[in-house]
Amino acid sequence: MDNNKEFIRFLDALERFLHQNEKWFQKPEERMNMIEKEMGEWDQQFLEQIGNVEKVMKELEKRME
């Protein structure tokens, strides 16, 4: 019986702690969202540049034939 009461007290304390510190848990999530957005923009630019390089390589291959 005491174990159950202690466990419930622990869960209550954990819930209070999480509620009081919720903003700190959200900060990394906000940062990850910003990083993912920046990576998407970088990825798009990178793919465009790779596409241009591939076009030049194909032109060079045609000239070498």
Q: What is the 3-state secondary structure (H, E, C) of 11-55?
A: HHHHHHHHHHCHHHHHHHHHHHHHHHHHHHHHHHHHHHHHHHHHH
User: DSSP label at 65?
Assistant: -
- Write out the two tokens for 55: 């076009």
Q: What is the pLDDT of residue 8?
A: 93
Enter the tokens of residue 52.
């241009």
Q: What is the pLDDT of residue 12?
A: 95
- Digit-by-digit pLDDT tens for the chain (65 residues) are 688 899 999 999 999 999 998 887 778 888 888 999 999 888 888 999 999 999 999 999 999 87
Distance CA 10, CA 20 (A): 15
